[in-house]
Amino acid sequence: MLDFKKTASQLIAREVDSMTIQEIYDAFEVPKFTQMGDLAFPCFKFAKVQRKSPNIIAEEISKSIESNEIFEKITSEGGYVNFTISKAILAKEVLLNIESQKDFYGSSNIGAGKTAIVEFSSTNIAKPFHIGHIRSTMIGNSLYRIYKFMNYDTVGINHLGDYGTQFGKLIVAFKLWGDKETIENDPIPELLKLYVKFHEEAEKNPVLDEEARQWFTKLENNDTEAYELWKWIRDESLKEFNRVYTLLDVHFDSFAGESFYSDKMPAVLTELRESGVLVKDAGAEIVDLSEHNMPPALITKKDGSSLYITRDLAAAIYRKNHYNFYKNIYVVGAQQQLHFKQWFKIIEMMGHEWAKDCVHVEFGTVSLEEGSLSTRRGKIVFLEDVLNKAVEQTAKIIEEKNPNLENKEEVAKAVGVGAVVFQELSNNRIKDYTFSLEKTLSFEGETGPYVQYTHARACSVLKKANEYSLENINFDLLTDERSIEVIRILNKFPEITMLAAEKYEPSIVTRYTVNLAQEFNHFYHDNSIITDDAELTKARLLLVDAVRQTIKNGLYLIGLKAPEKM
C-alpha cells in the first residue's frame, strides 16, 4: 500500500530543515475530525525558534506545498498542516489493502522478536469467580490479543491465587466439617461455606487458627496429606473457572500461580539480603521505601513465611530468566497500585534494569445496577450467572425476532456473552462503571449486539450478491461523502490498534467499532448496494466487504465473535 504519511513527510521535509524525515514521519497525527483531512502535521515546536505563531507557520508551510495527484488539498488550521488524500486514491489504497490483508488488517510487526507477558484474570482458588473478575479477565484477554496482533511473542499467564495461609484454614475446615462429594458437586460455593464457617468458629475457638498455621507449614514442607488436599481443592476450583473461561473464549499459556514460586523464594530472599535491600525489623524482614515516599514492604514474617509481595518478586525474576520479556504486563485493579509500585521499586533497587519493563495496567471498579440481577448466590454475584442470564435473554430475543435462524444457541452465546464483554470494554479502563444488563443487550445504541448486527448485515448483503470480483473497480464511484467517510474510518484502524497497544486500552478499539458501525449504517441507509448499475454495485460491495472485515478484526481484538447471521 502507498505510504501516504511517507509522501507527506517528504513534502514537509522540503520546507523544514530542523527535523529528519523520520522525525517528521513520527510527528504526524490523525486530525481530530475527518473533515480536516487525513494527516496532520503539528508546527508547535517551531514557534519559539522562528518567533512566529504555530498558526502562521502552518499556514506558510501549507501554502508552499502544492497539491498534487496524491493530496488533493493541503490546508492549515490551529497550528497544523492538514493533508487531504485524493478520494479515489484513498479509496483504492485502503480497500485493496484490506482485501489483501484480511484477518491481519490492522496488525503490525513492531513486536517481532520480542516477548510480551500479559498476566491477567489471576483468580483465587476456592473463592468465587465473581462479576468483578470480568475486568482483569477481559481487559487482559483483549491486550493479549492486541499484543499478538502486533506480532509480539505473547504469553498469557494466570497468576492463580493458590497459596497462602488461607489454605491451612481450608484444610482444617474440610477435615472438621467437609464432605468430598458435596464439594465436588458444587465446589466454589461449598468451599466458600467452609471458609466462612472456619472464621466463625475460630472467633470462638482460637486454637483453630493455630492448627491452620500448622497445616500451612505442612503444606510448605511438602507434607503428603496437606499437598493432596491442596491439590484437590485447586483442581476442583479450576474446573469451575475453566467453564467460565470457555464461555468467555479466554485462554492462557500458563497457570503458574503463586504456589509455583514457593520453591523459588529462598533464592530471591538470598539475593535480596545480598544486595543489601532487606533489613531486619522486629524479627521480620522489610524493605525500607521511605526514600521513595512509600511505606515499608514486609517481605518475610516473623515466622519466616513469605507474603504475596515476596511471591510477586520471585515471579518477576523467574519470568525475566525464563521468558526474557521485553514487556511484563500486569492487569490488576487500581486498589493494588501501591503494592505494584513497591515491588517494581524493589526490583529496581536490586539492580535489575528491567524493572522499567514491568507495567501495572490498572482499572477501576464495576458495580451492579440495583435489581439488574436476581441471581445472587449469597451476597456474591457470580460472573457465570451473569453471562448465562445474558445468553438466556438473547436467546429469547432471537426467538422473537428471528426464530428460523440456524445455530440459534451458538449465536445467543456469541451475542449474549459478547454484549457483557463489550460493555465491560467500552469505557476507559480506569473509570469505575455500573453494569446494566438491560443496556448491554440493546440492539440500538453503542452496544455489542449493535456492532455484531452491523457485521451480520454486511455479511448478508455480500451473500445476496453472490460472487463479485475485485477486478477493474472504478474507485471514482466511492468518492461521495458517505462512502469516503466510511473509508477514512477504515483507514484509521491500524493506528487505532497501535494506540490501544501503546496505552493498554482496549476501549479505544471498542469505541472504534461503534464509530465504524454507525458510519457504515449511515452509508447503508442512504445507498442501495445492489443496483442495476453493475459497476456501481461492484464498487459498493467492495466497500461493504472491507467494513465487514474490519469490524470482524476489531471485535476479535476485544474478545468478541462476529456471527455471520443474527
Piece of 119-127, 141-149, 189-197, 488-496 that binds ligand ARG (CB under 6 A): 119-127
Residue number of the CB closest to ligand ARG reads 161
Which of 149, 363 has the CB closer to ligand ARG? 363
Which of 119, 424 has the CB closer to ligand ARG? 119
Min. distance of Cβ 324 from ligand ARG in angstroms? 19
The reply to whether 127 belongs to the active site is yes
Name every residue whose Cβ is closer than 8 Å to that of residue 248 and which is 6 or more positions away in sequence.
Answer: 137, 138, 141, 387, 417, 421, 559
Strands 366-368 and 433-435: parallel
Grouping H, G, I as helix, E, B as strand and the rest as coil, residue 82 is strand
Min. distance of Cβ 560 from ligand ARG in angstroms? 25
Query: Which residue among the candidates 87, 92, 133, 561 is catalytic per the annotation?
Result: 133
Piece of 116-124, 211-219, 234-242, 501-509 that binds ligand ARG (CB under 6 A): 116-124
Min. distance of Cβ 504 from ligand ARG in angstroms? 15
| C-alpha separations of 358 from 118, 119, 149, 154, 550 in Å | 10, 11, 20, 15, 31
Determine, following the binding rule CB under 6 A, whether residue 255 of this chain makes contact with ligand ARG.
Answer: no
Query: Which residue among the candidates 87, 130, 360, 413 is catalytic per the annotation?
Result: 130
Which of 149, 330 has the CB closer to ligand ARG? 330
The secondary structure of residue 471, as a DSSP letter, is T
Min. distance of Cβ 333 from ligand ARG in angstroms? 7
In degrees and rounded to multiples of 5, residue 77 shows phi and psi of -160, 130
The reply to whether 199 belongs to the active site is no
What is the rounded distance in angstroms from the CA atom of residue 16 to the CA atom of residue 19? 7
Query: 221-233 burial by CB neighbour count: b if 16+ within 10 A, else e?
Result: eeeeebeebbeeb
Contact 527, 543 (CB under 8 A): no
Which of 161, 187 has the CB closer to ligand ARG? 161
What is the rounded distance in angstroms from the CA atom of residue 147 to the CA atom of residue 144? 5
Min. distance of Cβ 128 from ligand ARG in angstroms? 11
In terms of Cβ atoms closer than 10 Å to its own Cβ (0-12, 13-18, 19+), residue 433 is middle
Min. distance of Cβ 331 from ligand ARG in angstroms? 8
Piece of 117-125, 141-149, 282-290, 547-555 that binds ligand ARG (CB under 6 A): 117-125
Determine, following the binding rule CB under 6 A, whether residue 161 of this chain makes contact with ligand ARG.
Answer: yes
Locate 258 and state its grid cell.
Answer: 503463586
Determine, following the binding rule CB under 6 A, whether residue 107 of this chain makes contact with ligand ARG.
Answer: no
Binding-site member from 107, 124, 447, 483 for ligand ARG (CB under 6 A)? 124
What is the rounded distance in angstroms from the CA atom of residue 285 to the CA atom of residue 303? 10
Query: Which residue among the candidates 5, 52, 114, 127 is catalytic per the annotation?
Result: 127
Piece of 118-126, 186-194, 228-236, 269-277 that binds ligand ARG (CB under 6 A): 118-126
Binding-site member from 82, 107, 122, 342 for ligand ARG (CB under 6 A)? 122
Q: Which 312-371 positions form the footprint of ligand ARG (CB under 6 A)? A: 312, 330, 332
What is the rounded distance in angstroms from the CA atom of residue 91 to the CA atom of residue 79? 28
Min. distance of Cβ 431 from ligand ARG in angstroms? 20
Min. distance of Cβ 123 from ligand ARG in angstroms? 7
Determine, following the binding rule CB under 6 A, whether residue 156 of this chain makes contact with ligand ARG.
Answer: no
In this structure, is the dihedral angle defined by the CA atoms of residues 202, 203, 205 and 210, taken in order, positive or negative?
A: positive
Could you tell me how many residues of this chain bind ligand ARG (CB under 6 A)?
Answer: 8
Determine, following the binding rule CB under 6 A, whether residue 159 of this chain makes contact with ligand ARG.
Answer: yes
Q: In what order do the strands lie in the sheet with 297-300?
A: 278-281, 284-287, 297-300
Task: Characterise 253 by phi-psi region: left (phi > 0), alpha (psi -120 to 50), beta (else).
Answer: alpha
Name every residue whose Cβ is closer than 8 Å to that of residue 308 and which is 6 or more positions away in sequence.
Answer: 164, 258, 339
The binding site for ligand ARG (CB under 6 A) comprises: 119, 122, 124, 159, 161, 312, 330, 332
- Which residues are known to be catalytic? 127, 130, 133
